[in-house]
Amino acid sequence: MSCLFCRIVAGEIPAEIVARGDRFVAFLDVQPLADGHVLVVPTTHEATIEGMDPADADALFRAVHRLAGPTRTAVGAAGSTIGINNGDATGQTIAHVHVHIVPRWTGDAAGSVHTIFRPGARRPIAEVGAAIRGALSA
């Protein structure tokens, strides 16, 4: 097994695990963006959200919901940024779905998710909406 996160899930690599369930494991990031930076991963290997079994995705997001508040409380954070890099083009470096819970403080100099993009759509919004609805019904 070569996937780093699969090896953590299997207990082959030590990690600072903060929570575990039948379908997820949550542990501290070893290269944290802030104190309390937690990664929540499904126990089954899947590279992208859309490839996940719906029950695994449900369990993953329930775990994120369960962990967000206690993580903030534990480190005295004012908020948190919760994010997923989904695919190579996003900078996802480990091809195993993982959700970042990054505690945040007022004045921490980190931006919102909006700061990583240049504003502006390339296609008319109605065209994009129609394309998404069409893909959903396919």
Residues known to be catalytic: 98
**Residues ≥6 apart with Cβ < 8 Å to 96:** 3, 4, 5, 6, 41, 42, 45, 46, 47
Kindly report the number of other CB atoms within 10 A of residue 67's CB atom: 21
Please name which of 125, 119, 33 lies closest in space to residue 71, comparing C-alpha atoms: 33
**Distance of alpha carbon 77 from alpha carbon 75, whole angstroms:** 6
> Distance (Å, rounded) from C-alpha 80 to C-alpha 99?
12
